[in-house]
């Protein structure tokens, strides 16, 4: 029988994974049950790309982002029965090429926010 190491049971290790999902990849539940999903990748982390997905009661929610040659590409997968609020990293709305069917919601410092229904969505923005 292998010895059990007590530090593996500590929740602290779970917070690292949560930070990777919610901050680096930007995939967060908008409410309980993932009826809404929030995608807001954190560009301050210095990461050139990130990808995460999570199985929800509605299906798989996913987010992937990459920065290449000053262009940010953000891909989002929204499960059936859910909607997403997608925060595209951009200085202003004119720098974003949103996907067809996305609805502009607002602009925030460093982000342009769109609402999308279920499906696969991809946005491109000039940094």
Strands in 71-78's sheet, in edge-to-edge order, are 49-56, 59-68, 71-78, 119-126, 96-97
Decide if 88 contacts 124 (C-beta within 8 A).
no
Is the model's pLDDT at 5 over the cut of 80? no
Query: What pLDDT digit, counting tens, does each position of 20-32 carry?
Result: 888 889 999 999 8
Query: How many percent of the chain have pLDDT more than 90?
Result: 65
Q: How many CB atoms lie within 10 A of CB 85?
A: 17
Of 18-27, 30-39, 63-72, the least confident = 18-27
Question: Which pair of tokens denotes residue 18?
Answer: 């949560």
Region 29-39 average pLDDT? 92
Calpha distance 77→71 (Å, rounded): 20
Question: pTM for this one?
Answer: 0.85
List of domains in the chain:
6-126 (2.60.420.10)
Which one has a higher pLDDT value, 42 or 124? 124
Q: Calculate the CA 103 to chain-centre distance.
A: 17
What is the per-residue pLDDT for 97?
A: 95
């Amino acid at each position: 029988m292998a010895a059990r190491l007590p530090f593996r049971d500590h929740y602290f290790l779970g917070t690292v994974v949560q930070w990777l999902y919610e901050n680096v990849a930007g995939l967060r539940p908008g409410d309980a049950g993932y009826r809404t999903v929030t995608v807001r990748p954190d560009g301050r982390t210095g990461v050139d790309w990130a990808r995460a997905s999570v199985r929800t009661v509605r299906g798989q929610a996913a987010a992937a982002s990459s920065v290449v040659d000053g262009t940010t590409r953000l891909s989002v997968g929204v499960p059936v029965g859910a909607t997403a609020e997608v925060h595209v990293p951009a200085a202003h709305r004119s720098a974003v090429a949103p996907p067809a069917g996305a609805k502009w919601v607002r602009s925030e410092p460093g982000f342009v926010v769109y609402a999308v229904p279920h499906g696969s969505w991809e946005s491109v923005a000039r940094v």
